[in-house]
Amino acid sequence: MHMLLHHASWPEVEAYLERSKGVLIPIGSTEQHGPNGLIGTDAICPEVIARKAAEDTQMLIAPTFNVGIAQHHMGFAGSMTLRPSTMIAAIYDWVASLSRHGFDRIYFFNGHGGNIATIQAAFSEIYADRSLGREGDNRRAVKCRLVNWWDFKPVLDYCKQTYGSAHGSHATPSEVAVTYAAFPHAVKHAVMEPAIAPSGRFTDAEDYRAKFPDGRIGSDPSLARAEDGEKLIALSAKSLAEDFKNFTTS
Amino acid sequence: MHMLLHHASWPEVEAYLERSKGVLIPIGSTEQHGPNGLIGTDAICPEVIARKAAEDTQMLIAPTFNVGIAQHHMGFAGSMTLRPSTMIAAIYDWVASLSRHGFDRIYFFNGHGGNIATIQAAFSEIYADRSLGREGDNRRAVKCRLVNWWDFKPVLDYCKQTYGSAHGSHATPSEVAVTYAAFPHAVKHAVMEPAIAPSGRFTDAEDYRAKFPDGRIGSDPSLARAEDGEKLIALSAKSLAEDFKNFTTS
Amino acid sequence: MHMLLHHASWPEVEAYLERSKGVLIPIGSTEQHGPNGLIGTDAICPEVIARKAAEDTQMLIAPTFNVGIAQHHMGFAGSMTLRPSTMIAAIYDWVASLSRHGFDRIYFFNGHGGNIATIQAAFSEIYADRSLGREGDNRRAVKCRLVNWWDFKPVLDYCKQTYGSAHGSHATPSEVAVTYAAFPHAVKHAVMEPAIAPSGRFTDAEDYRAKFPDGRIGSDPSLARAEDGEKLIALSAKSLAEDFKNFTTS
Amino acid sequence: MHMLLHHASWPEVEAYLERSKGVLIPIGSTEQHGPNGLIGTDAICPEVIARKAAEDTQMLIAPTFNVGIAQHHMGFAGSMTLRPSTMIAAIYDWVASLSRHGFDRIYFFNGHGGNIATIQAAFSEIYADRSLGREGDNRRAVKCRLVNWWDFKPVLDYCKQTYGSAHGSHATPSEVAVTYAAFPHAVKHAVMEPAIAPSGRFTDAEDYRAKFPDGRIGSDPSLARAEDGEKLIALSAKSLAEDFKNFTTS
Amino acid sequence: MHMLLHHASWPEVEAYLERSKGVLIPIGSTEQHGPNGLIGTDAICPEVIARKAAEDTQMLIAPTFNVGIAQHHMGFAGSMTLRPSTMIAAIYDWVASLSRHGFDRIYFFNGHGGNIATIQAAFSEIYADRSLGREGDNRRAVKCRLVNWWDFKPVLDYCKQTYGSAHGSHATPSEVAVTYAAFPHAVKHAVMEPAIAPSGRFTDAEDYRAKFPDGRIGSDPSLARAEDGEKLIALSAKSLAEDFKNFTTS
Amino acid sequence: MHMLLHHASWPEVEAYLERSKGVLIPIGSTEQHGPNGLIGTDAICPEVIARKAAEDTQMLIAPTFNVGIAQHHMGFAGSMTLRPSTMIAAIYDWVASLSRHGFDRIYFFNGHGGNIATIQAAFSEIYADRSLGREGDNRRAVKCRLVNWWDFKPVLDYCKQTYGSAHGSHATPSEVAVTYAAFPHAVKHAVMEPAIAPSGRFTDAEDYRAKFPDGRIGSDPSLARAEDGEKLIALSAKSLAEDFKNFTTS
Ligand code: NI
Ligand code: NI
Ligand code: NI
Ligand code: NI
Ligand code: NI
Ligand code: NI
């Protein structure tokens, strides 16, 4: 049964805990996504896909961690970022809170490549508490897992087939399509110049903006269609449901 | 025109900044709200009211800061908390990000009494940067404002008239009513025993649970009705629209 | 019996702990108080009143926490401030120290409105340790309480009667009067222009100084008289003695 | 002229700054000082001596930094400590505040050996800001100085002559004598067993208490006499006045 | 010309800076490497390879960052770890120091997979300073790069050919071979049971030790030979020299 | 038997722990050492001497902590520094790691005067954990010791005899001689002007460079000879071996 932590009451969560110790946290970013992409794309995608996955699986979904590591996007209006040290502290507290109630399988379902390193660092920060502990310590063990919504093979295959070399790595047509499927009123139109954005490495916000003047990297998000977004949601959700089940029952 | 930061593109935010330097951040908590209240109540209320207010005002709404200071609720399953030091760091980064783009009026619209002290401390942390600076410093000035959704006189009056002494201070019928109006499918039913919960002070989670065994303080949330929630949303939104306008044009 | 922690020996404190687990910390600020007010006003007031209260009550008084949150006063020479994050860490350590010895009722007697939010945030930081803990944890419970010296009804009434609309909210005649009663040699004279200072909100130091050019807010501290200070001390001390007793025996 | 920052008004401090950029911070500790010593000894000594020195020198005295590094004394009731990381943050903020107003010679007059390392570390933390800066940086240079009240040769000589091998290193007759001179009503009597306490190294609180069961190290503080305290105050104050003058005019 | 920062004088570094703004930091870990591997393996490998690469390239080599993220190895004697938050602070300071002198290309040459996430998070922490800055800011831009010694194709190919499915992912024969080549006296012999260690995921130290009882993951390090280590050093060094040159001249 | 932690395997460390709970950490700095001194001098000296001492004593040597507190040297190319707060966190983690394995005597063998305060502060930070703990706490006790390589009387005597008033306090001929003995290929030649460098106090990097234009303080390091370095190594190592034994068996 579909269950949002924030729409549940505490007795409902207590009852859930008798059946499962697993919880999913959608985690994203609030950052520019090119001329026609939503600033909330990376938070919206994992949230929408998780809700879909939860429709016929036992899965408790926590609120979305919605501002992540986006320092490189700060040259574009509306982008927001945490410093990695802040994000580690916040993830530490979220996990400590859930662990307090007995959750011991925390699944981070991620929508932003730039978050990956810091989330993994946060896991090490959390594990280090017990790893540096000693006998008699009463800290509870917890297992964390990080999966990106596009990590599943069916999703990768679909993107490759549908967008080919126009997929790119930021403001991709696939992620924009997912948001269009979720929020049809937010569909935007823009002419992409050049059609496919440049690719490459970057460091800070100034460097990023100089190299990628409209925010895109390697992509043509004008290819984004809500109907493809629906398919992507379904594909990713199916894999997620299975992966979450394996994780929480392992 | 109604505008969510996360549903906008960066050029749209850039255009907005030419008209206004103000932005609103709904800020709440993820914590137990008694036997029939949603764990997300305190995040849902300001978010829903802000969207209503934005319908016919110029107001940009940022993503919701959804986990706050709820250490005292940790005795009830599903509650989540930040430590105040973490929350200060996170608010600092959110404001630094928005300030970077030129926003200089940051309006925190709050749904949780337990957040107030820490949000105000965060404001002082932010202001201290400039206040400890010296001539020639190039930090930008920013003004922050904290308002709770129930602070407006029409809202207070309505609650008093409608709920009288059954309003209480946590898991109140008014906040539960707002969430029922927003999410009718999440309406829950529970018998309240006693009808009106006990009142008093509390310290940590153990102390809280001992004094308030079902999570409520001084309230009877079984009085919550979606139709009253609609009225509360409308009343609070009207005042908010005005207050936000005053703030951002001052 | 009157007892200062810093004038006691450790065996005397050990003996006190057999009778009471309560301790009072005067907490203030070091910041400008207008043309004729002492920079130490907010630390002096609670310290002086607490000593008076302790004359015929069992009350152990810790050293005064004398620099607080005064970022907004940094435009006036001599003002000192902590960042809120620093103050939280310091209060955490003070309470951890006292708790280590068995004190479990820590009464913060405050002289500065600007401290309130950060002190409350510090309490949450302290409580969060236990609230996020788990069974078998051996952290001791501690209860903290925050009271401002002017919070008691007799004090509020006296101020209203004596100063009326000239009381204001910073560099008030009442707090200046208390310091004049305590330190007659430090009485200062200054012409106030205008007689009653302007009122309003403020953000950082630059903003504050622009709005309140001589440091006062809404007050006429030229009305401060040592003899009124004596009365204020007596009134606040009487209420404090009672409140402290209630707190430490609850 | 004798001048306490906390007894001055901001215009008085502004006037002082036209004559001098130097300020003195008494810094001590709140920790056990054996069977007949005051817990506040290490804060009282530098404060009392500085006030004496200021009688006929131009010297502005800030409030006393009264809780320091005393983790090793936590086995004795009433001792309080900061963690070094907290103390560094607090000293950083105190100096940043004073520097903001133009003070560029900050003299820390210390009463506690256990503080020395952390105060010096704090100086490096402060200096590192500018040292890691680059051209065009607008941080102000500030010079900090750390002197213990017993560092001056006349003081050392007096202690040696008066107490010889009974002086020891903690809860010494000299420091106790200074507090007795300052607070005659706080004189305490206790039989010392053995007459001279053991000496040696120590690590944490448990280790300390095991080695020094009544808190003293190598001393016989029953030798403390108020009249010797007067002399010590005078000797140290005379040297301090000179040293402070040299420092602030260099 | 081969140049170690720690074997240079400051005038030599000053001269180097006129030719190049690039510097390499070997970064590793101090953690168990199975029954016959050196605890310092991950620090030794990048250090040795970098020195080889520097023999005929212009490359300044900083001291080795030798303790990294190894919380998962803490179940095995001798392993050492930083918490990620500590490591981020330390890398921040290292880069700030080098940037102060004008180095603007900082190449982290890494020997430990477990460091990757935290190093990347540290880069974001560093870049965020400028990215959150504003016009007129005088922070210098710096570019950081992270490369693992085994990332180069010739190295990967050699490992595949030489060790096949016995290579594994921790305590690999290739890394052990490199240390044997560098320190022949430290060659150790141990029987591996089973020959190829198990593979899989892990969380904290307890979990790791339960799954990988002798510390290896998927490898048979008894295959390590000094002569293969020599070849690996040569292959990696050649690629490194080229990559470093490209990076520092880009 | 001579034993480097980083050249040992975990079973070897496990075996060592059955014989001894003591470990030595060489700790230094990476900072300018005048016209002919190595930037790594302060890390090299304790490392080289410890290895010598370990030749015929039971002593486990950890990797060298190689970047310390050198903010005052940042005016000279190649110097690197940690902020003291970072160094405290790092030392805390190093000790926590070693303590986890059962090491309870941690000997810091130091090569840099500027590190002393921060290392001692770090010890207090570590001890404070237990000192603020309470009954039932399961933290392990650990004893830390800080010794500088030049602290031993035979070393001091040798320096006095050999260099007299040309020894100075930074970039001394003795420390340079030790590095020349260790790394003959790194011997450098430079004319010292004046022969003996000026002496005095300093604050930040700008102040330091203004007072000590070539980096030396009070020394003539052109007197450094590799053969004297050999003797210094031998003298210091002999004392160290004895002192380490006393410490670890006490
Ligand atoms: Ni994206
Ligand atoms: Ni609520
Ligand atoms: Ni006041
Ligand atoms: Ni003392
Ligand atoms: Ni390895
Ligand atoms: Ni040196």
- CA D188, CA C3: separation in Å to the nearest integer? 14
Q: Do D89 and C93 touch (CB under 8 A)?
A: no
pLDDT at res. B135:
55
Measured between CA atoms, the residue of chain F closest to residue C98 is F132
Query: Which of D127, D142, D247 is the best residue to mutate to test the F interface, defined by the most F CB atoms within 10 Å of its own CB?
Result: D127
Task: Label residue D1 by pLDDT band (50, 70, 90).
Answer: very low
- CA E165, CA D55: separation in Å to the nearest integer? 83
Burial tier of F206 (Cβ tally within 10 Å: 0-12, 13-18, 19+): middle
DSSP annotation of F57: S
What are E32's strand-pairing partners?
none
Looking at chain A, the whole-number percentage of residues with pLDDT higher than 90 is 95
Mean pLDDT for chain C? 96
Partner E contacted by A137 (CB < 8 A): no
Least confident range of B205-219, D125-139, E104-118:
D125-139
Average pLDDT over residues D181-202: 97
- CA C219, CA D103: separation in Å to the nearest integer? 30
CB A158 within 8 A of CB A239: no
User: What are the pLDDT digits (tens) for C85-96?
Assistant: 999 999 999 999
Query: Which token pair is C203?
Result: 């953000």
- CA A2, CA A59: separation in Å to the nearest integer? 7
User: What are the pLDDT digits (tens) for F22-57?
Assistant: 999 999 999 999 999 999 999 999 999 999 999 989
Query: Which token pair is A17?
Result: 């805990």
Contacting residues of A for F96, CB less than 8 Å apart: 132
DSSP annotation of B59: E
ipTM over 0.95: yes
Among candidate residues B93, E69, E140, E153, the one with its CA nearest the CA of residue A117: E69
Which chains have 3 or more CB–CB distances shorter than 8 Å to chain B?
A, C, D, E
DSSP output for C76-99? STT-B---HHHHHHHHHHHHHHHH
Cis peptide bond prior to E194, omega within 30° of 0: yes
pLDDT at res. A133:
85
- CA D50, CA D125: separation in Å to the nearest integer? 26
Query: Which of F4, F5, F9 is the best residue to mutate to test the E interface, defined by the most E CB atoms within 10 Å of its own CB?
Result: F9
User: What are the pLDDT digits (tens) for C99-155?
Assistant: 999 999 999 999 999 999 999 999 999 999 999 986 556 678 999 999 999 999 999
- CA B142, CA B103: separation in Å to the nearest integer? 8
Closest ligand relative to B6 C-alpha: 1
- CA E242, CA D44: separation in Å to the nearest integer? 65
User: What are the pLDDT digits (tens) for D45-100?
Assistant: 999 999 999 998 999 999 999 999 999 999 999 999 999 999 999 999 999 999 99
Average pLDDT over residues C185-202: 97
User: What are the pLDDT digits (tens) for F148-166?
Assistant: 999 999 999 999 999 999 9
Chains C and E touch (3+ CB pairs under 8 A): no
- CA E139, CA E104: separation in Å to the nearest integer? 12
User: What are the pLDDT digits (tens) for E182-240?
Assistant: 999 999 999 999 999 999 999 999 999 999 999 999 999 999 999 999 999 999 999 99
In the predicted structure, residue F59 carries a pLDDT above the cut 80 = yes
User: What are the pLDDT digits (tens) for B78-127?
Assistant: 999 999 999 999 999 999 999 999 999 999 999 999 999 999 999 999 99
Partner C contacted by B74 (CB < 8 A): yes
Q: How far is the CA of C68 from the centre of ligand 2 (A)?
A: 30
Q: How far is the CA of B121 from the centre of ligand 3 (A)?
A: 18
In the predicted structure, residue A139 carries a pLDDT above the cut 80 = no
Q: How far is the CA of B111 from the centre of ligand 2 (A)?
A: 6
Paired sense of beta strands F59-61 and F2-4, if any: parallel
CB E113 within 8 A of CB E148: yes
DSSP output for B74-124? TTSTT-B---HHHHHHHHHHHHHHHHHTT--EEEEEE--GGGHHHHHHHHH
Average pLDDT over residues B201-230: 98
Contacting residues of B for A9, CB less than 8 Å apart: 32-39, 188, 190
User: What are the pLDDT digits (tens) for B1-60?
Assistant: 459 999 999 999 999 999 999 999 999 999 999 999 999 999 999 999 999 999 989 999
Chains C and B touch (3+ CB pairs under 8 A): yes
Q: How far is the CA of E114 from the centre of ligand 5 (A)?
A: 9
In sequence order, what are the residues at sequence separation of 6 or more whose Cβ sits closer than 8 angstroms to the Cβ of residue A249?
Answer: none
Burial tier of D196 (Cβ tally within 10 Å: 0-12, 13-18, 19+): middle
Separation in Å, CA of A26 to nearest CA in chain B:
13
CA distances from C156 to C164, C167, E109 (A): 11, 11, 67
Contacting residues of B for C132, CB less than 8 Å apart: 71, 74, 81
pLDDT at res. C152:
98
DSSP annotation of E139: P
In the predicted structure, residue C161 carries a pLDDT above the cut 90 = yes
Partner E contacted by F212 (CB < 8 A): no
Asked whether the CA dihedral B72, B75, B78, B83 is positive or negative, the reply is positive
SS3 E66: coil
For residue C117, what are the domain limits?
A: 2-248
Closest ligand relative to D68 C-alpha: 4
DSSP annotation of E150: T
Separation in Å, CA of C97 to nearest CA in chain F:
6
- CA C186, CA D5: separation in Å to the nearest integer? 11
pLDDT at res. D250:
85
Query: The whole model's pTM is what?
Result: 0.98
Q: How many domains does chain B have?
A: 1
pLDDT at res. B1:
45
Give the residue ranges of DSSP H helices in chain F.
10-19, 41-53, 84-100, 116-131, 153-163, 173-182, 205-211, 226-249
Task: Label residue D166 by pLDDT band (50, 70, 90).
Answer: very high
In the predicted structure, residue D133 carries a pLDDT above the cut 90 = no
Closest ligand relative to F179 C-alpha: 6
Helices and strands, counts by H and E, chain F = 8, 5
The CATH number assigned to the domain holding A79 equals: 3.40.50.10310
Task: Label residue F138 by pLDDT band (50, 70, 90).
Answer: low
Residues of chain E with pLDDT under 70: 1-2, 134-138
Across the interface, which of C131, C132, C134 has its CB nearest the CB of A138? C134
Chains D and E touch (3+ CB pairs under 8 A): yes
Measured between CA atoms, the residue of chain A closest to residue C137 is A138
In the predicted structure, residue B136 carries a pLDDT above the cut 60 = no
Q: How far is the CA of E40 from the centre of ligand 5 (A)?
A: 8
Among candidate residues B221, B218, B222, the one with its CA nearest the CA of residue B198: B218
Task: Label residue A183 by pLDDT band (50, 70, 90).
Answer: very high
